[in-house]
């Protein structure tokens, strides 16, 4: 039986990948962005796992919450900690 390699095509995320990144973004990252006073930006997706380390999420604030605007592939992207 052949198994699917997640993010096997490096320039596309499937629906499961997007859902995973979105869920973790809202569960773990949004509170940190609010603490930092972030309003708009781009963040490496390695917070969702190393397999997403070449992906960025573009976000913006919407009132008291955030919205993901787009996903962007970038071979030169790298993550950093949002923890103080």
Residue 57 in contact with residue 18, Cβ under 8 Å? no
Structure-token pair, residue 7: 């993010």
Residues 34 and 62 sit within 8 Å (Cβ to Cβ): no
Domain residue ranges in the chain? 15-73
pTM of this prediction?
Answer: 0.83
User: What is the pLDDT at residue 10?
Assistant: 66
How many angstroms separate the CA atoms of 50 and 52, rounded?
5
For 24-70, how does the pLDDT look when each residue is reduced to its tens digit (9 = 90+)?
999 999 999 999 999 999 999 999 999 999 999 999 999 899 999 99
């Amino acid at each position: 039986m052949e198994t699917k390699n997640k993010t096997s095509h490096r320039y596309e995320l499937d629906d499961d990948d997007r859902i995973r990144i979105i869920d973790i973004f809202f569960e773990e990252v949004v509170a940190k962005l609010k603490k930092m006073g972030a309003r708009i930006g781009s963040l490496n997706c390695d917070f969702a796992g190393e397999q997403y380390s070449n992906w960025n999420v573009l976000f913006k604030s919407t009132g008291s919450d955030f919205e993901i605007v787009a996903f962007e592939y970038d071979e030169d992207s790298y993550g950093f900690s949002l923890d103080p």
